[in-house]
Amino acid sequence: MKRFRKLCVAIALCVVSSICLSITAYSMNVLYITRYQQENSNWCWAASIYMISKHVMGSSYSQSQIVTSVHGSAVNWGASISEAAYAMRVNTGFQTNIYTSPISYSTVESRINANRPIYLGLNWNNGGGHAVVCDGYNNYNLRIVDPWNTCPARYVGYEESKRNAKFCSGEGRWVDGFYI
User: Distance (Å, rounded) from C-alpha 50 to C-alpha 164?
Assistant: 26
pLDDT (tens digit per residue) in 97-121: 999 999 999 999 999 999 999 999 9
User: Distance (Å, rounded) from C-alpha 56 to C-alpha 146?
Assistant: 17
DSSP state of 130: E
Question: Is residue 90 in a domain?
Answer: yes
CATH number of the domain where residue 38 is located: 3.90.70.10
User: Distance (Å, rounded) from C-alpha 92 to C-alpha 73?
Assistant: 19
Question: Is residue 124 in a domain?
Answer: yes
User: Distance (Å, rounded) from C-alpha 6 to C-alpha 3?
Assistant: 5
Residue 68 near residue 74, CB atoms below 8 Å = yes
Question: Is residue 11 in a domain?
Answer: no
pLDDT (tens digit per residue) in 33-62: 999 999 999 999 999 999 999 999 998 899
Question: Is residue 111 in a domain?
Answer: yes
CB count in 10 Å sphere of residue 136: 23
Q: Return the pLDDT at 21.
A: 42
Give the count of domains, the chain: 1
Question: Is residue 136 in a domain?
Answer: yes
CA 153 to chain centre: 10
Strand partners, 157: 141
Question: Is residue 87 in a domain?
Answer: yes
Question: Is residue 171 in a domain?
Answer: yes
Compute the average pLDDT of residues 4-21. Answer: 49
State pTM to two decimals: 0.86
Parent domain of 135: 29-179
Question: Is residue 18 in a domain?
Answer: no
Q: Return the pLDDT at 2.
A: 62
Distances (CA, A) of 123 to 2, 32, 54, 78, 141: 65, 24, 25, 13, 19
User: Distance (Å, rounded) from C-alpha 20 to C-alpha 47?
Assistant: 41
Instruction: Express the helix, strand and coil content of the chain in percent, nearest 5 each.
Output: 40, 25, 35
